[in-house]
Chains A and B, each alone.
Chain A
Amino acid sequence: MTAFFAAGKPNGWWLPHDPNEVIWGTIAFAIVFGVLYVKAFPSMKAAFNGRSDRIESTLNEATGERETAEAERESTKAALADSDSEAARIVAEARDTAERVKVDLITRAEADAVVIRDRAMAEIASARRGAQADLTAEVSRLAAGAAERVVHANLDDTTQQSLIESYISQVGSNN
């Protein structure tokens, strides 16, 4: 121990060679430690505690959010399941509607076809009657023209005089 506290000379050990330095350093350390313990440690402890609280609060919030997200995921999964069945219902309804529309269209097309066919038949009949009338008129015109030409060719002076005499006789006989 003496050797240990021997001052002024290197003692070859791990402590300073001056024991006073040890003493005063220890005292100073104790003072600084005391001050720190009294002044700084509470605020440091409060800071550490606050940090722990914030972390815990953050962890709690994260947990809550995770639970909310899981609830939403479950809800979304349920909604997806519902949407699948809704989609299937819509598709089925659309098929029914399409079938009904198809049937309606076919029915209407058939009715239209009947109307168009009837109209076409009526137009054909009308056209036939018109053609027959035109043909009759043309035949009449040709026959009349032929008759007129024959009459012209035979209307010599004798025939003219005969027609005039016939007319005068007829007017006279009707009195």
Chain B
Amino acid sequence: MSDARISAYADALVAVARAEGATSVVEDELFRFARALEGSDELRSVLSDPHLPTERRTQVVQDLLGGRASSATVALVSMIVATGRISELTRIVDEFITRSADNRGEAVAEVRSAVALTEEQRSRLAEALTTRTGRPVTVRNVIDPTVLGGIVTQIGDTLLDGSVRTRLTQLRDAF
């Protein structure tokens, strides 16, 4: 999908979330769903299967998110599934979150760790990153077992890698 189309979808998501007055909630839910989709080949396969009727695929979304996410989130994901753009959902959601944060004058940090951060750790990390970048930072934590240990933070084009995985890779490359 072209960057222009990604931007158009992201703008649409921003507009809907703002209209529903639930930008923060939608951001969080879409972020989690995008990460879940990223980690599940089966879910991606089902939602992008062109042989399945659109109604069946949107029904899968309803079954997955119904009762666990806001109606705005369910509607937005269903829209993306119905338009056949599920393979681009991760990029759309990342762009949506970046734009929403920009609108608030904030930056979004995608923080990958092998275990979930506590609220207190997220808060301290957000504070440290805010000081470092000079603008408010919202931390989005992704549980990623491949990190092994430590944290990998991505803010825009900046990568702060403190993962055990990277240290092991560096160790292997040092031989």
Contacts and interface: CB of A to CB of B under 8 A. Distances in A.
* A in complex with B: yes
A167 B150 contact: yes
14 contacts: A136-B175, A140-B172, A140-B175, A143-B171, A144-B169, A147-B171, A151-B168, A166-B162, A167-B150, A167-B151, A172-B128, A172-B131, A175-B128, A175-B131
Interface in A157-175: 157, 159-161, 163-168, 170-172, 174-175
Interface residues of A, number: 27
A148 B150 CA distance: 14
A163 B164 contact: yes
Interface residues of B, number: 25
Nearest to B169: A144
Given A140-B175, A168-B128, A171-B125, A160 B149 contact: yes
B113 interface: yes
A23 to B, nearest CB: 157
| Chain A interface helix/strand/loop/mixed | helix
B148 A147 contact: no
Interface stretch (B2-10, B82-90, B114-122): B114-122
A175 B171 CA distance: 27
Nearest to A172: B128
